[in-house]
Amino acid sequence: MLRCDTWTGTLVPKAGMGFPRKKFAAAAVAGKILVAGGCTRSSVVEEYDPDENVWRVASDAPRRRYGCIGASADGVFYVIGGLKIGPSGNDGSVSASRASGAEAAHVYASSMDLYDVAARVWLRSRAVPGGGCVVAACGANGNVYILSSHAVELSFWKFNASRKSASFGEWSRIKSPPLPAQVRLDSTVRFSCVGVGDKVVLVQVVGCIDDLLRRSGRTERGLKEGLVLVYDCAGGEWTRGADMPEVIRRAACVCVEC
């Protein structure tokens, strides 16, 4: 692992995780970094203490996921979406051993597991309404925001993550991100999002098909990449930001207060 000093741009090597992972969920919660998923041989969740430069085993996840997304809100680590890998663990209300492969994949792609970091317990798992495949998620303004793909359209959801609220755990479908008219989705589209204050910044990190190029008969596969959209959590509206000057494919986004 590397620590980047955002003031100087320097990189400092830090202790590595105890378990090899690929396409895993990660989030900062209460001054620690938690990771889960992406490990074929274990469902272990690890926690990094930046003050001690030490990784510790925090828990075992109820589902073993690959390609999942991490988010945090109100002291809870959210492990969202992805694919099922390896034998099933403690899957809560869903028994992967009784489900078909397709059903199990659907459950993983549109669900999230909640880990209370302070209490060291897993809360009840939640399903994202409407199914689909979760392609981006982040915590912002006391909520978890989730973008789901339904092959030809996107849906955008808000999960009330404030545990002291009477409406904790409630879902709301909110305005979907407005893609340019000439762009259509396909199975390769990828987004990354991050909460910045009371905003959600959505960055397109793998291209959509440019339908105008496709219909013009040009042989190359036209792609639109680097699109940046900003959602105002208070106002409920999207605005378009400046496109990224350089696309870093499949990048993850983080917010650092300076």
pTM for the model: 0.86
Q: What is the mean pLDDT of residues 202-230?
A: 67
138 and 93 inside one domain: no
182 and 226 inside one domain: yes
Say how many CA atoms lie within 13 Å of 2 toward its Cβ.
Answer: 7
Whole-number Å distance between alpha carbons of 74 and 119: 12
Contact 15, 55 (CB under 8 A): yes
Whole-number Å distance between alpha carbons of 47 and 56: 5
The shares of helix, strand and coil residues in the chain, as percent rounded to the nearest 5, are 5, 45, 50
102 and 152 inside one domain: no
pLDDT digits (tens, 9 = 90+) for 32-44: 999 999 998 899 9
31 and 90 inside one domain: yes
Asked if pLDDT for residue 93 goes beyond 50, the answer is no
pLDDT digits (tens, 9 = 90+) for 125-173: 999 998 888 999 999 999 999 999 887 788 999 999 999 999 999 999 9
12 and 100 inside one domain: yes
Give pLDDT, residue 92: 44
27 and 107 inside one domain: yes
Structural domain of 252? 134-258
Contact 90, 62 (CB under 8 A): yes
Where is mean pLDDT largest: 82-91, 98-107, 190-199, 239-248? 190-199
Tokens 């999942």 sit on residue: 68
Asked if pLDDT for residue 232 goes beyond 50, the answer is yes
Please give the mean pLDDT across all residues of the chain.
85
Give pLDDT, residue 244: 82
pLDDT digits (tens, 9 = 90+) for 98-112: 444 555 666 788 999
Contact 203, 193 (CB under 8 A): yes
Give pLDDT, residue 98: 46
How many C-beta atoms surround the C-beta of residue 216 within 10 A? 9
Concatenated DSSP letters for 51-84? TTTEEEEEEE-SS-EES-EEEEETTEEEEE--EE
Contact 68, 82 (CB under 8 A): yes
Whole-number Å distance between alpha carbons of 137 and 249: 17
State which of 104, 127, 150 marks the end of a domain.
Answer: 127
Looking at the structure of the chain, the number of domains it has is: 2
Asked if pLDDT for residue 3 goes beyond 80, the answer is yes
Asked if pLDDT for residue 212 goes beyond 60, the answer is no
Q: At 144, list the tokens.
A: 């978890």
104 and 160 inside one domain: no
Asked if pLDDT for residue 89 goes beyond 60, the answer is no
109 and 149 inside one domain: no
Q: Percentage of residues in the chain with pLDDT exceeding 70?
A: 78
